[in-house]
Amino acid sequence: MSGRNSGAAQAKGVSMRAGIPFVRRTAADALAAEHLRLFRNYEAMELGWFWATDADGRITYLSDSVAHAIGESPEAVLGRDFIEVFKHAADDADFDAEPRRTLPFQMARQGRFETVPVRVEVAEKERWWALSGQPQTDSRGTFCGYLGHGVDVTKEQHAALESNRLAMYDPLTGLPNRRRMGGLLDSTIAAFRSQQRPCALLLIDLDRFKQINDSLGHPVGDALLKLVAERLSNIVGDSEKIARMGGDEFQIILPDAHDRIAINELATRIIESVSHPYYINGSRCMIGASIGIAVSPYDATTSDELVRNADLALYAAKGAGRGRARFFSSDLLKMAEDRRLLEHDLIDALGNGEFAVHYQPVVSAKTEEVTGFEALLRWNHPKRGRISPSIFIPIAEDANLIPQLGEWTLRQACKDAATWPGNLRVAVNVSPIQFASEALPAIVMSALANSGLKPERLELEITESVFLGDGSETDARFAALKRVGVRLALDDFGTGYSSLGYLKSAPFDKIKIDQSFVRGTTEEGARNQAIIAAIVALANAMNMETTAEGIESFDQLETMRRLNVSHIQGFLYSRAVPNEDLSTHVVNGRWVITPQGPAKQRHIRHTTFRKVGVIHDNHYYAAVLKNVSASGALIEGIVDVPEGTQFVIDLGDGQMVVAIVRRALGQQQGIEFEQPLVEDASGTLTTRHRVSPRVLAESGLLKQGNSLVAKSGEGQLSLPAFHTVTEWGGIESA
């Protein structure tokens, strides 16, 4: 090559060495090579990876390690749509909705984005990558694709997910916590509001958990809470509907729960399951549960109101004796205030002489002769009159007045019984609180000594819940009482924490069969007779007497006699009477009672006085519900109604029931329900289903004065068939 050609080549950056041309490396070339070397080394160390796309989102570069990780070869992914390659990750339901939208949306808007998380399965293991992208433009500013970067953030993401889980779930039981359940309740009620769909809330409080936690220690208490959570999950089936709210309180959400009886049955199963014994580190633990229930939209329209009302229902359930469920009702708000006032009055009632003891006869089933009496405490409030024990006893428990009231009742009963002629016995209830006291045997001996009553004439009625305490202390208390010489009766047998095991050691003289078993004995298909027969056989085998409580009809009495129950107690023979009246009945130590009452068991009739609506054709009549049972009611306020007339009774709160007039006398009608009412957990009669406000609104009918008209106003109104009685006694047209 000539020098001229050589010079030209050098001028173009091309050198001649041994006649061979080569390209001279500039400083920029060296820097680019160093960048490439660092780039390759970064990829090789798998500290991160790179990707690039063209303007249409097709991949122009993807690090080999990532291509292999998603199961593709590096060459196979070139030219494919970037979003499609990572679609399975971007559509994954497990990661946050906002990042899930960000990747395709950000790329579509051709903007810069950083650390967008995507989840992938790499070698059957979960990995998380954070993607960042920088849009690229040409010299004219036209978008021409992305240059991007990705890093493995699996550890960080797992830590974040675990932190989020801990924030939303109870670390002890694994159930949702208060925060998560609050969010679920808010969203459920909000979603259901427009369609008026029901949502039930159950608040569960564990009874006697604190005693176990204090006596056996927190590790046992924690283990017990875990077992309770497992039992709740087994019953409900979906643990995401159950939350531990803290301490020993749990919450259950039941969307679309419209059947109050089904809700009540679930609550009953929960109480029964939670109340079964637990065995932890060799210790036998017995607890119970009380449940408060509220249902939106009938009881509340917001989550805060629903929780408050369920809490009021829970308080009412605990106040009614614990171990039961209670539905919210509007009167609980007033009852809460009344309860506060009654508690204040109750503190002074004993000192003011407002209490008295009445006595209900216990009768021999064979001879109808009275063998003894059960002592029942009565409170005569100076302003409110007679206060039911079902009201003041729970208040006394909360006010820690049970020991004082129990001791006063015992001493008064012994004092009264000592004046009775003959050898009639007196039975006195002993609460679990009294039984747990070491002073009980001494108090009993003192009451007997001061009254002069013979020990064998005193019978102490004890419920099964006393067996929840320490076994050795329970046995010692029984032994001490038997040394005093008193009789012992097992009260409300079969309704609590029944176990045949303790009957072997507990020295009972009598088993009292709870009236809940008696009521169902005459119903077709009921199993109560078989249960009572088994109780009687067990008692006879152990030389114990039996008393059936709550006998109110002759068919119940005959059933108890046929089942060989030895003693009867109930209104069929007598209500509880004051001590001063016994002298007129007991002659020479004997009182033979002739039973009086209905021939057959009737549904319990609840006396009431409240306004209801009566719908006939297209007219709406105002009436008063005077009393009601499961099968029918007495209404007053409509005249000239023939027997056989069919009504729809509006009981309020969405409770609609079809009824037929069976008896009519003046302005009163005895009606029979087409479908019987049912008792909820609080004993209140209610329809099995309720009509939601939305359904009523969509029914096409509006109340206009005393008539029901179509919303469009096109319906033809008929003349009212009946008249209603005004509040002042006159008669007016409907």
Count CB atoms within 10 A of the CB of residue 617: 12
Q: Enumerate the domain spans of the chain.
A: 1-38, 46-160, 169-329, 352-582, 606-733
pLDDT at 147: 94
Rounded to 5°, angle at Cα 646 from 640 and 651 = 95
pLDDT at 338: 82
- Asked whether the CA dihedral 250, 255, 259, 265 is positive or negative, the reply is negative
Give the whole-number percent of the chain exceeding pLDDT 90: 38
Those residues whose C-beta lies under 8 Å from the C-beta of residue 99, and which sit 6 or more positions away, are 116, 117, 118
pLDDT of 185 higher than 50: yes
pLDDT at 227: 95
| Structural Rg of the chain based on CA atoms | 39
More confident residue, 140 or 700: 140
Count CB atoms within 10 A of the CB of residue 474: 19
Summarised one tens digit per residue, pLDDT across range 677-707 is 876 645 567 787 776 655 555 554 445 444 4
What number is the average pLDDT over the span 395-420? 93
218-236 vs 209-216: helix crossing angle, rounded to 10 = 140
Query: Topology of 352-582 in CATH?
Result: TIM Barrel (3.20.20)
Asked whether the beta carbons of 518 and 549 are under 8 A apart, the reply is yes
Summarised one tens digit per residue, pLDDT across range 497-517 is 555 666 766 789 999 998 878
pLDDT of 359 higher than 90: yes
Q: Are β-strands 567-568 and 577-578 bridged in parallel, bridged antiparallel, or unpaired? A: unpaired
Asked whether the beta carbons of 256 and 188 are under 8 A apart, the reply is no
Encoded amino acid at 272, one letter? E
**Tokens linked to 413:** 């009963």
Give the whole-number percent of the chain exceeding pLDDT 70: 83
What number is the average pLDDT over the span 407-433? 95
pLDDT of 462 higher than 50: yes
Q: How confident is the model at residue 730 (pLDDT cuts 50, 70, 90)?
A: very low
pLDDT at 496: 54
**Is the domain defined by 169-329 classed in CATH 3.30.70.270?**
yes
pLDDT at 486: 96
Summarised one tens digit per residue, pLDDT across range 89-125 is 434 434 444 444 567 877 888 888 888 877 777 666 7
What number is the average pLDDT over the span 592-615? 79
pLDDT at 123: 64
Phi and psi based region of residue 543 (left: phi greater than 0; alpha: psi -120 to 50; beta: remaining):
left
pLDDT of 709 higher than 50: no
- Measured CA to CA, the distance from residue 100 to residue 92 in angstroms comes to 8
pLDDT of 138 higher than 80: yes
What number is the average pLDDT over the span 530-557? 91
More confident residue, 5 or 80: 80
Q: How confident is the model at residue 380 (pLDDT cuts 50, 70, 90)?
A: very high
φ/ψ of 133, rounded to 5, equals -145, 145
Q: How confident is the model at residue 474 (pLDDT cuts 50, 70, 90)?
A: confident
pLDDT at 717: 53
- Measured CA to CA, the distance from residue 409 to residue 401 in angstroms comes to 12
What number is the average pLDDT over the span 280-301? 90
Asked whether the beta carbons of 152 and 49 are under 8 A apart, the reply is no
Alpha helices in 320-358 (DSSP H): 331-349
Which 8-state DSSP code applies to residue 38?
A: H
- Measured CA to CA, the distance from residue 66 to residue 131 in angstroms comes to 12
Asked whether the beta carbons of 251 and 229 are under 8 A apart, the reply is no
303-319 vs 331-349: helix crossing angle, rounded to 10 = 40
pLDDT of 539 higher than 50: yes
pLDDT at 702: 46
pLDDT at 495: 63
pLDDT of 727 higher than 70: no
pLDDT of 611 higher than 90: no
Alpha helices in 95-176 (DSSP H): 97-108, 154-168
What number is the average pLDDT over the span 594-623? 79
Q: How confident is the model at residue 234 (pLDDT cuts 50, 70, 90)?
A: very high
Q: Please, which residues bridge with residue 430 across strands?
A: 462
Selected from 3.40.50, 1.10.3470, 2.40.10, 1.10.10, the CATH number assigned to the domain covering 606-733 reads: 2.40.10
* Mean pLDDT for the chain overall: 83
Summarised one tens digit per residue, pLDDT across range 428-445 is 999 988 998 999 999 999
List the end-to-end C-alpha distance of the chain, in Å, as a whole number: 126
pLDDT of 24 higher than 80: no
Asked whether the beta carbons of 209 and 274 are under 8 A apart, the reply is no
Asked whether the beta carbons of 263 and 271 are under 8 A apart, the reply is no
Q: Please, which residues bridge with residue 355 across strands?
A: 379
**Tokens linked to 181:** 């359940």
pLDDT at 733: 42
Give whole-number Cα distances, 382 to 68, 105, 244, 259, 385, in Å. Answer: 88, 76, 44, 42, 6
- Asked whether the CA dihedral 459, 465, 467, 470 is positive or negative, the reply is negative
Give the architecture (CATH level 2) of 46-160.
Answer: 2-Layer Sandwich (3.30)
pLDDT at 159: 74
Phi and psi based region of residue 651 (left: phi greater than 0; alpha: psi -120 to 50; beta: remaining):
alpha
